[in-house]
Structure 1
Amino acid sequence: MDEDISIHAGVKREFGLLDYVLFSILFVISTFIGVYHAYKDRKISNVRHFHLGNRQMHPIPVSLSLAATFLSAITLIGIPAEIYKFGTMYAWLICGTLIATAGAAHVFLPVFYSLNTTSCLAYLQMRFGTVVRVIISIMFILQTLIYMGFILYVPSLSFQAVTGLSLWGTMIGVSAVCTLYTMLGGIKTVLWTDSLQLIIMFAGLLTLVITGLNRTGGLTKAWETASTHGRIELANFSPDPRTRHSVWSVSIGGGLFWSYLYGVNQAQVQRQCSLPTLTKAQTALWLNFPALVVINALACLLGVVMFAFYSKCDPVKVGLVDKPDQLVPLMVLDVLGSYEGLPGIFMASVFSGSLSSMSSGLNAMSAVVTEDYLKHFCCKSLSGRKELFISKLMVLMFGFANFAVAVIISQANSVVALQLSYSLYAILSGPVFGCFIAGMIFPWTNKTGALIGLITSLGMVSWLVLGAQINRPSGIKPLPVRTDGCRWINSINHSQLVYNTSLDLSFNSHTLPNNTTIVSIGTVEEEPRVYDFYRMSYMWYASFGMIINIIVSLFISFVTGPLNPKKVNSKLMSPLFYKMFPFLPESIRRYLYLGVDYSNTLSDDKIDEEISLNVSCDNQK
């Protein structure tokens, strides 16, 4: 390994002029794509063109956009930091993405595509009425804003670490550019910019991994170093739900979480429904899967390489960076800093992940507000250029809201962004996912059951997640790190080092300087039994909310009077169990339809009538 690296010497390299130029090109091109589509489609006033591209999009850009939407900066920065601190069990998420892709393509997408509506929440209107639809639409907007706040804050924090530029200034600039091109070009701009940004993400990750391997002595050497320090773990099959990362929690729990993202999240469903046929939409979903595998695998490998690179001198421990989420950009300067321009390209790849997720979220929230509120409550006759203008205005307003949320997040003391963002996102995703499953899979679920199930699961998951964040029960600690390889360690103010260490007792004592002692004062109080509940792995949060919702929804439905499966519109149902067992004899398999008559469907021209009928009935009640 090259010994002349900044972490050993205690000197940070800096961005050069070429780095800033190449970094800026990403934003210039993204804005140009938005301006181009705005000019090209300037005579089109159809709002479905703005949100769905009139269902004439091509599978290739849609598949790339599907992959880019939730492969944000949290993926590029959070996953390597996760591997660095806790080891490689997170790599099992690749199996989870396979579960999510299959479920989205063959369980949920056929239902949404047949409805031919801009907002997938219209399904809830037809199945459960206005109240459930409104509650979930509000939850979606809150959830998306929180997630977008993270994906704006995390890369901006990283950029501050490598350039010294203002955190707020960076967030303002990135948010403004993303809002501008999304507002100008709509879904077409989002798809094409996502495609460009995914390619940049791949190139940036691959460049850093290859160069990092070269600096650490190759893959075998890096793997051995990480293994020696306990970072390589792939066979934890513990069934205990308190195990932070096991094969089951990551592959199944993570798979169900990603099933929500790909199956019923407006941002993804909107892209899938922009294709001309259901077959092409399913093809786009499966084409996106290899991209998910490659990007996630590279991010995990980067975590291994990053640990091998800093194995003798932890940058966070010695104060070279403040938070684990700044390790990747620091490594960029250390590894790529001698190649002018490459740090700029990698930081462009980090922001590409954020731009793709933010633009998707802005366009999706605009569609939800327009379709689920304005056109159903106050502006039912809204159409043409007025509807298009309001949709673009919504993008602008949510752009401002996104920046405000990012500012709030920036005031919190950070843990690894991957876990915190996942945990907060799961508060709403689990209950919402459960509501869709209770509606699509189980024909007996009625309005009352869906509503009570949604509220109950939301309360339970909120108690779990917020309780864990507030009380922080003792549990799994980060793996130990070393500082004995830092040649500049003696120059650090000793009292400051002791202070920093006392804030983080998760490291073993042998990682501290020899003359540092931590004194425990007082007795250790026994923790409340509820803390075992709070120790549930964050990977199970979404699954927990989903299961609670389904159980409560079905119980209340049977108590208050279940729906007759033969009278449920089969266009709103998905025969999951029938599809899961194709090897069974048809005489047995037909019972897996759960009594639904799949010849009882509504034609496309009757969909809007049923939605309007449900709205009228709810208003009369």
Structure 2
Amino acid sequence: MSEDYSINTGQKKTFAILDYVLLSLTLGVSAGIGLFYAIKDKNNVNSKNYLLGGKDMYVFPVAMSMLVTFLSALTLLGTPAEMYNFTTMYWWSCLAFVFAMVIASVVFIPFFYNLNVTSVFQYLELRFSKPVRVLASLIYIVQTSVYMSFVLYAPSLALNAVTGLDLWGSVVAVGIIVTLYTALGGMKAVLWTDTFQAFVMLAGLLAVLIQGSIVMGGFKNAWDIAGNRSRIYFNDFSFDPTTRHSFWSLVVGGSFLWISLYGVNQAQVQRTLSCPSVFKAKLILFVNLPGLILIVSLCCMIGIVMYAFYADCHPIKFNNLISKSDQLLPLYVMDILGHIPGIPGVFVSCIFSGSLSTISSSMNALGAIIPCDLIKPYCCPNLSDRSMTILSKVIVVIFGVVAIGLAVLVSQLGSVMQACFSVYSILNGPLFGLFVLGMFFPWANAWGALVGALTSLTFMCWIGFGAFANKVSTAKPSPVFTHGCNWSVTTTTTSTLGTTTTPFTGSTEMSTVEASSDPFIPMYKLSYLYYTPMAMAVLVIVGMFFSFITGLRRPESIDPRLVCPLFDRLFPCLPEMILRPLRCGVNYKGMRGNLNDTSTTKQGQVTLLSKVPEERETDI
């Protein structure tokens, strides 16, 4: 290999002028799309057009937007680092994507589409009560606001440490641009900018993988090097729930996580609702699936090539190159592509596209739920449609400022990626559990939903805080080596470390756990991938218990549109004599033709219920 790499020179390469130009062009195009739709639709100011794209969007841009909404910059930076630090077990998550897309498209998306709602939390009021809807909305607002701040700050931090890109300049610039085009252009701007950003992300990842493979003498050679160092490993089939990444945690726990993201998350459901029919709403998930697997697989392959490149000279904390795993990929890109003007700029554009797409989708979702769930129902019931659209735009601007402000707070934390995923999963599980309780358990009432949600949220916060306070780590990093380092610029410290062959195992973290006397340590070690199903299970169990002691709902009295005919959706070919008892007494008479959602036009939708369902007065 060339002698001009950072692991040989001890020096990091920085951006050239052309790199800054290409990055500016990426941000400029995104802002331009927002301005285009703001001008184009200036005489069509209504909430349906602004929040749902007029419910007449094409399948492809919606699928691309869904693809990049949760494949943020954290994914693009974190997945290669996962391959580098651990093993290839994470690659099993692609199987979870398949299960999640099938369940979401067959069960959840048709359910919400046919309810004809703007906010998914409207369903919780129709099924349970206003307090349940408000609680869920508030949890989502907190979850989304925190997530946006992480997505805004983390990539800027990683890139600043390696490329010299100004940290707070990039945070503020990205925050202002994404707020501008989301507020002005609404859903249409978000969908088309996400589509543009998806291609930028793909181009950046391909450039890194291709050049990295060339440097290593082919991907097969990199694979062999990683295999010889125990990085290629797919055989952890442990049933232990504390195993961070086993086949079961990735496929089972991961399936629940991704079903919740694609099935009930406002940002994703809102995109499917922008399609003109149930058929197209379901189709976008299957168009999205190959792209999801491709992007994650490219990130995994990059991680393997990156490990092979640094196999004998681990760059973290040596010669002050980088200090965190989050910075591995930017360092690697500058090493292998830094000599080609403009290409590092394409990669950084790829990373910031991941941030832009996630933040814009989240802002668009907040612009929908806050007016629909919190302001119009309780403060301004006579709010006109035009006023509601303007209010949505104002809310987008407010949360753009909030995201930038929270990024300052996030900067005081330690490992931003780990903290982000933990916080998001803790809040995500109770939300998912509320929808599962309402859609599949017709006996549940509002008291059960409210108490179950609060219990589940408290339980998950306890586990998360306990894991953080006790510095619990379920991760067991694979060995890394520095015996191959050959610094041309060294210090006394680095020259000593340069001959080290002792594997890095993270023993400090583990010793902290072992020294703790907390009897709940085994519970704190629960894999983060089980947070969502665990929170859902707690909510359903507690919710059903409190529904029982406060008076179960009578299934036959519930509007059938509020309970999902699960087995009709999953097994439509079963005979009626088997399906009838599986409907749990819900009266679907007159809806039999719509149980499997075979309609493909807007006429297949139902009108949003204008009256509260029977028995609602007995709930809170």
What range describes the TM-score normalised by the shorter chain of this pair? over 0.9
For 1:184 and 1:497, how far apart are their aligned partners in 2?
Answer: 56
**Is it true that 1:25 corresponds to 2:8 in the alignment?**
no
The alignment partner of 2:537 has SS state of helix
The reply on whether 1:252 has 2:252 as its aligned counterpart is yes
The amino acid of 2:161's aligned partner reads A
> Aligned partners of 2:211, 2:261: CA distance in 1, in Å?
33
- Tell me the secondary structure at the aligned position of residue 483 of structure 1: coil
Q: Percent identity?
A: 44
Q: 1:521 Cα shift?
A: 12
1:510 is matched with 502
CA distance in 2, matches of 1:533, 1:583: 42
Aligned-partner SS, 1:223: helix
Report the CA distance between 1:17 and its aligned residue: 0.9
Rounded Cα–Cα distance in structure 1 between residues aligned with 2:447 and 2:132: 9
Contact 2:147/2:420 (<8 A) preserved: yes
Q: How far apart are the structure 2 equivalents of 1:379 and 1:497?
A: 68
Q: Tell me if structure 2 keeps the 8 A contact 1:93–1:251.
A: yes
The equivalent of 1:275 in structure 2 is 275
Which of 558, 564, 569 aligns to 2:548? It is 558
* Distance in 2 of aligned mates of 1:106 and 1:124: 20
- Correspondence for 1:352: 353
Provide Cα deviations, 1:576-615, integer angstroms capped at 9, x if missing partner.
Answer: 2333345644322322222222236699776351259999
| 1:127-526 pair list within 5 angstroms | 127-318=127-318, 319-414=320-415, 417=417, 419-473=418-472, 475-488=474-487, 491-494=490-493, 510-511=502-503, 525=515
CA deviation map 1:243-267 (0-9, x unaligned): 1100010111111111111110110
Cα pair 2:10 2:490 within 8 Å, conserved: no
In structure 2, the partner of 1:598 is: 588
Q: Which runs of 5+ in 2 are unaligned?
A: 595-603
- AA at the equivalent of 1:459: T
Partners of 1:570 and 1:523 in 2: CA distance: 50
Distance 2:2 2:213 in 1: 11
Q: Which amino acid aligns with 1:127?
A: R
Cα offset, 1:2, TM superposition: 3.6
**What's the CA shift string for 1:296-337, capped at 9, x where partnerless?**
110111111111111111111313112110111111111111
The CA distance in 1 between the partners of 2:281 and 2:605, in whole Å, is: 18
CA contact under 8 A between 2:558 and 2:613: conserved in structure 1? Answer: no
Give 1:198 shift. 0.6
1:29-68 to structure 2, matched below 5 A, reads: 29-68=29-68
Aligned-partner Cα distance in 2 for 1:584–1:385: 48
Q: Distance in 2 between matches of 1:138 and 1:150?
A: 19
In the aligned structure 2, how far is the partner of 1:301 from the partner of 1:556? 48
Q: Match for residue 529 of structure 2?
A: 539
> Whole-Å Cα distance in 2 between the matches of residues 103 and 391 of structure 1?
31
Structure 2 CA distance for aligned equivalents of residues 592 and 206 of structure 1 = 48
Residues 522 and 339 of structure 1, relative CA distance in 2, 3 Å threshold: closer
Q: In structure 1, give the amino acid aligned to 2:401.
A: F
* Partner Cα separation in structure 2 for residue 474 and residue 237 of structure 1: 19
Work out whether residues 570 and 600 of structure 1, in 8 Å CA contact, stay in contact via their aligned partners in 2.
Answer: no
Aligned partner of 2:598 in structure 1 is none
Q: Deviation string for 1:513-548 (max 9, x for gaps)?
A: xxxx99x99997464331111111111111110111
CA–CA separation in structure 2 for the residues paired with 1:510 and 1:489: 22
In 1: Cα distance, 2:75 partner to 2:569 partner? 32
Letter in 1 for 2:64: L
**C-alpha separation in 1, matches of 2:62 and 2:512:** 59
Distance 1:85 1:52 in 2: 41
CA pair 80-522 structure 1, distance change in 2 beyond 3 A: closer
SS in 2 for 1:378: coil
The offset of 1:355, in angstroms, is 0.2
Pair 1:86–1:614, CA change in 2 (3 A): farther
Report the alpha carbon displacement of residue 12 of structure 1 after superposing the two structures with TM: 1.0
Partner SS, residue 502 of structure 2: helix
- Per-residue deviation, 1:221: 1.3
Q: Distance in 1 between matches of 2:475 and 2:358?
A: 30
Distance in 1 (alpha carbons) for counterparts of 2:108 and 2:205: 32
Partner of 2:597: none
> How does the TM-score come out when normalised to structure 2?
0.93
After the TM superposition, which of the residue ranges 556-565 and 61-70 deviates more from structure 2?
556-565
CA displacement at 1:558 relative to structure 2 = 2.2
Preserved contact between residue 223 and residue 308 of structure 1 (Cα < 8 Å) = yes
Provide closer, same or farther for how the CA distance between residues 147 and 611 of structure 1 changes in structure 2, counting only shifts above 3 A. Answer: farther
Alpha-carbon RMSD across the aligned residues, in angstroms, is 2.6
Rate the CA distance shift 1:523–1:245 in 2: closer, same or farther, 3 A.
closer
Contact kept, 8 Å, 2:163 with 2:334, in 1: the verdict is no
Q: CA deviation at 1:490?
A: 7.9
Distance 1:475 1:291 in 2: 30
User: Could you say what secondary structure the match of 1:376 adopts?
Assistant: coil
Deviation at 1:3, TM superposition (A): 4.2
Distance 1:239 1:612, change over 3 A: closer
Distance 1:594 1:3, change over 3 A: farther
CA deviation map 1:37-69 (0-9, x unaligned): 000000112111110012011111001111011
Give the secondary structure class of the aligned counterpart of 1:268: helix
Residues 181 and 189, structure 1, Cα contact 8 Å, conserved in 2: yes
Change (3 A) 1:89 1:593: same
Q: Cα gap change, 1:375/1:307 in structure 2, threshold over 3 Å: closer, same or farther? A: same
Shift of 1:475: 4.4
- CA, structure 1 residues 382+558, in 2 after alignment: closer, same or farther (shift >3 Å)? same
SS at match of 1:377: coil
Does the Cα contact within 8 Å between 1:569 and 1:600 map onto a contact in 2? no
Q: Which runs of 5+ in 1 are unaligned?
A: 502-507
1:470 alignment partner AA = A
Contact preservation (8 Å) 2:482, 2:501:
no
**1:84 corresponds to:** 84
3-state secondary structure, aligned to 1:52: helix
Distance in 1 between residues matched to 2:573 and 2:608, nearest whole Å: 34
| 1-structure distance, mates of 2:34, 2:401 | 18
Amino acid at match of 1:263: G
1:580 aligned residue (570, 575, 578): 570
Check the 8 A contact 1:578/1:590 in 2, yes or no.
Answer: no
Please give the secondary structure, in 1, of the residue aligned with 2:81.
helix
Tell me which amino acid in the other structure corresponds to 2:386.
Answer: R
Query: 1:539 and 1:378 mapped to 2: Cα distance?
Result: 39
Distance 1:522 1:379, change over 3 A: closer
